[in-house]
Structure 1
Amino acid sequence: MFETKQKKATLKVVNVASVPQRSPFRYPGGKTWLIPVVRKWLKQSKDTKTLIEPFAGGGIVGLTAAFESLAENIVMVELDHEVAAVWDVIINGDHNWLADKIYSFDLNPESANSILKKENKTTKEQAFSTILKNRIFHGGIITKGSGLIKNGENGKGIKSRWYPKTLRDRIMAVGHVKAKMKFVEGDAFSELDKIKNDINTYSFIDPPYTVAGRRLYTHFEIDHDALFALTAQLKGKFMLTYDDTEEIRGFAKKYNLDFRTIPMKTTHHIQKNEIIISDNFDWWK
């Protein structure tokens, strides 16, 4: 049955510090806070499964599934070329190179600008440039219009979020599990369409949200109605996440998809609800 009234949120806000930090990204809209729920969802069946994350972004769900053996095969998909370069190098390419480049880089405004302003970058150079931008731009936002951190934590400026050893260690750790991972630079819709009849593929779908997407992402314009229509066709299990708006509730009702609300805290410590849409909620306890 479609949920016509918002149920009282029974889950508590997750302390993200309690969740292992796997991603090299500071990702706006990241789902680290949702990992305890994702674990339950992926554990609902012990059958051999593939997990696809068609809007990979910071990739925390795919990475967690790989590290914790929650799926046998993980496919991460990302359209944004800058973000895609990072995952292409780490998962499909030479992750050691990127880890060493980050660790050995002498970060200062001049060296940073020389990297960011270079044109015609190779995939490796783009990967490093993206990580650099993600770490030294306000809020980790790499879209046009964002800019360098000026003061930062304790007056450290652009070095405030630059943790070369931590970043190197995270990337090297991914290197130990990437044999079960695959990265595709491509469109979420086409990749979901390819697997829509596969009952053994779990789809974790976290698109750019209707409200914040324009500010946070380069590819924020997607057809949300079409995404709901495609999700409703999936034969395998799925979890679709969204901001809690009347528009999104309307799409869920249109395609007869059930949902639950879940509390979370923003980076500004404001508590709000998001929506989890799924093919079933037998695992929701």
Structure 2
Amino acid sequence: MNYSPLRYPGGKTKMLPIIKLMINKTKHHATYIEPFAGGAGVALGLLFDGCVEKIVINDFDKSIYSIWRAILTENERLIQLIRNTPISIDEWHKQKLIYLNQNKKYSLELGFAALYLNRTNRSGILKAGPIGGFNQNGKYLIDVRFKKEELIKRIEKIALYRNKIKLYNCEINTFIKKIIPKYKNSVIYFDPPYFKKGKDLYKNFFTKKDHERLCKQIRSLSNDWIVSYDNEDYIKSLYSDYESKEYKIHHSAANNGTGVEVMFVSDSGLWLNDNELKTIKTSINFIGDTNE
């Protein structure tokens, strides 16, 4: 089940059963951290299922951060906006202007505008155009992914857990240096911007040097961690000291088909064996060890 109110390019909700079992194997993680939260589908699933006591989510994109902050601190006003705002091309243009012109600091209006675009744009990409096109003559129309009552239910449930959710709006290097050390008994899931297609999908995409710096910082951590990336040789060379597995995953945003990604872990004890994988229901198919 998807608990997130957001649609996200390459969203990792499908990873939930796998990461949940990884965490349950260790039995010592009270806190789960997502430095690149996005839709935070895995984090919410772990919290709601009682797998962890607390989740820490961070997103440097002010608009995405504003969605989460609105859910946690102004959920009733956000819900009112969802109920009362029409889903139309005229309204899309209004929300697009808010998103473009009011994105320097948090506001409920920015959070709602970003949520509106996320639910009405192709593949949930904020820089994309509306589903069905501006003439609304496509197979699907602008409101197909904006199911108001379902969105409201998700937001209300998240708000019930607000005391167990810590939200940050930090640049990744600052987050790793200053925030992660506060949470000793934790496991971290890094899902950075894609190496190859990040520029097309994200507002805050990474350069090659950014990926290199992130790898260096992850290596310095004493926490248990998991990293997932698009399956690129350069990325695998950066993390060549760690065990890795390739897996197949469906991407609606990247290529409307099945893509191959790669996962790295800080401790080989986190990996699931074939018998453990058989105990969970998941659409993720591991191909095998890439370091064999």
Query: Would you say same fold, with TM above 0.5?
Result: yes
- Output one character per residue of 1:174-223: Cα deviation in whole Å (capped at 9) or x when no partner: 01112100111111221122325854121110000101211100000241
CA distance, structure 2, for counterparts of residue 270 and residue 281 of structure 1: 30
Aligned twin of 1:117: 97
User: How big is the shift at 1:156?
Assistant: 5.1
1:160/1:154 CA distance change after superposition, 3 Å: farther
Question: 1:150 and 2:123 equivalent?
Answer: no
Correspondence for 1:104 among 60, 84, 108: 84
Aligned partner of 1:90: which letter?
I
Aligned twin of 1:25: 6
1:259/1:156 CA distance change after superposition, 3 Å: closer
CA distance, structure 2, for counterparts of residue 277 and residue 236 of structure 1: 14
Correspondence for 1:182 among 154, 161, 166: 166
Partner SS, residue 87 of structure 2 = coil
Partner SS, residue 44 of structure 1 = helix
The root-mean-square deviation of aligned C-alpha atoms, in Å, is 2.1
User: How big is the shift at 1:96?
Assistant: 2.0
1:33/1:120 CA distance change after superposition, 3 Å: closer
User: How big is the shift at 1:47?
Assistant: 2.3
Residues 50 and 201, structure 1, Cα contact 8 Å, conserved in 2: yes
CA distance, structure 1, for counterparts of residue 15 and residue 4 of structure 2: 14
Percent identity at matched positions? 25
Aligned twin of 2:220: 233
Partner SS, residue 157 of structure 1 = coil
CA distance, structure 1, for counterparts of residue 137 and residue 123 of structure 2: 12
Question: 1:207 and 2:188 equivalent?
Answer: no
CA distance, structure 1, for counterparts of residue 10 and residue 140 of structure 2: 25
- Output one character per residue of 1:256-278: Cα deviation in whole Å (capped at 9) or x when no partner: 22211122122255323211110
Aligned twin of 1:70: 51
CA distance, structure 2, for counterparts of residue 211 and residue 36 of structure 1: 27
User: How big is the shift at 1:232?
Assistant: 1.1
User: How big is the shift at 1:83?
Assistant: 0.8
CA distance, structure 1, for counterparts of residue 109 and residue 53 of structure 2: 31
Residues 60 and 171, structure 2, Cα contact 8 Å, conserved in 1: yes
Question: 1:244 and 2:244 equivalent?
Answer: no
User: How big is the shift at 1:281?
Assistant: 2.8
User: How big is the shift at 1:28?
Assistant: 0.6
TM-score, normalised to structure 1, is 0.85
Residues 265 and 272, structure 1, Cα contact 8 Å, conserved in 2: yes
Aligned partner of 1:62: which letter?
A
Question: 1:87 and 2:73 equivalent?
Answer: no
Aligned twin of 2:242: 257
The answer for unaligned runs of 5 or more in structure 2 is: 274-292
Aligned twin of 2:282: none
Aligned partner of 1:139: which letter?
S
- Output one character per residue of 1:57-95: Cα deviation in whole Å (capped at 9) or x when no partner: 11112211221122212110001111111011112x111
Aligned twin of 1:275: 262
Aligned twin of 1:9: none
Residues 90 and 171, structure 1, Cα contact 8 Å, conserved in 2: yes
CA distance, structure 2, for counterparts of residue 115 and residue 188 of structure 1: 28
List structure 1 segments (4+ residues) > 3 angstroms apart after TM superposition. Answer: 118-122, 151-156, 196-199
Aligned twin of 1:191: 175
Question: 1:59 and 2:40 equivalent?
Answer: yes
User: How big is the shift at 1:134?
Assistant: 0.8
Residues 199 and 237, structure 1, Cα contact 8 Å, conserved in 2: no
User: How big is the shift at 1:236?
Assistant: 1.1
CA distance, structure 2, for counterparts of residue 153 and residue 239 of structure 1: 42
1:198/1:129 CA distance change after superposition, 3 Å: closer
CA distance, structure 2, for counterparts of residue 48 and residue 157 of structure 1: 43
CA distance, structure 2, for counterparts of residue 241 and residue 196 of structure 1: 21
